[in-house]
Amino acid sequence: MDISPENKWSITQVIYQEILDEIYSHFETIKVRYMPIKGAYLLYSGLADKMQKRSISDIDLLICEEDKQKVFNFFESLSNIEVKTNFANNYRTTEAAFWYTLGEVRIIVELHTELNVTSRFYLPTEELFQRSIAKDQFVRVPSLEDSLLIFLCHLQTHITFEFKETNLEEIHLLSEQKGFSWTTFWAIAGNTGILPFHYFILRIYEKAYLTNVNSPKRFLYSDFLVILFNCNIYTFSPQWIKRLLFELPFVMNPWWLIKQKIGRGKKKHI
């Protein structure tokens, strides 16, 4: 029997929420604070239910560097865990992943001490925690503005490979939360080193939703891309063109990215 995308999303939310509840109990046991991010943030905050559909393939959790070994060792000891990568042997030492089994469901949970390498963008974990909102003793959620900033920074890491139809809907959902401030957002976004990328995506959002994100600056190249951007053309464009137009001009250190891609060939993208 075929399941509609909307019903599939509803079922996914129930399953992932149950795993998030279990994860909370684990962090409560070891007394370590953590932050659900990306799709996990939407689920934890209840915002996921406001989207008709969305794809989610894992649960992402942000933790502090000093806690990573304690957290990893605890999860590794659980009977329903199978380690996929650990901090020590991963190509990116700020990330570990494991398979989490709940009944017949098997989902990847990723632990991050940083969102990504600083050669891409600058968004330190300690600053995210400083601006975060405490939900109880151990759970923190990103500030309203950081929730959007995390989403956009993550989008930058995947812009060569996909631009989902739900991206603009998610931007709208995050920025429409009560208390969200575009002034605060742009002040924080200016420190990431990829302000032109945020501007580029949010200009596309402006056009689609006929709204105003109140950007204090304009960027000529970003405005040029907005004029050219068409989601259908983008989808069927060769990957090298998407990397050349939408990724390399926007990372903090494009030469680092070029060397990484040459060095790693066809391996998993950073």
CA distance 76 to 89: 15
How much is the pLDDT for 261?
65
Residue segments in the chain with a per-residue pLDDT below the cut of 70: 1-6, 261-270
Question: CA 228, CA 90: separation in Å to the nearest integer?
Answer: 38
Beta strands in the chain (DSSP E): 35-37, 58-62, 81-85, 95-102, 105-112, 133-134, 140-141
Nearest to 188 by CA among 230, 221, 146, 160: 146
pLDDT attached to residue 11? 86
Question: Model pTM?
Answer: 0.92
Whether the Cβ atoms of residue 28 and residue 56 lie closer than 8 Å to each other? no
Q: Are 134 and 146 in contact (CB under 8 A)?
A: no
What does the alpha-carbon distance between residue 116 and residue 56 come to, in Å, rounded to a whole number?
19
CB–CB of 140/133 below 8 Å? yes
- CB-based contacts of 218, cutoff 8 Å, min separation 6: 199
Give me the half-sphere count of Cα atoms (radius 13 Å) on the Cβ side of residue 136. Answer: 8
Q: Quote the tokens at residue 261.
A: 């891609």
What pLDDT sits at residue 266? 44
Nearest C-alpha neighbor of 83 from the set 101, 60, 65:
101
pLDDT recorded at residue 268: 47
Structure tokens at 116: 């990504």
Degrees to nearest 5, angle at CA 133 with 198 and 110: 70
Cα gap 85→95, rounded to integer Å: 8
Query: Residues 225, 241: contact at Cβ < 8 Å?
Result: no
In 3D space, the residue among 202, 151, 147 whose CA is nearest the CA of residue 180 turns out to be 147
- Determine the pLDDT at residue 24: 96
Write the DSSP symbol of residue 212.
Answer: -
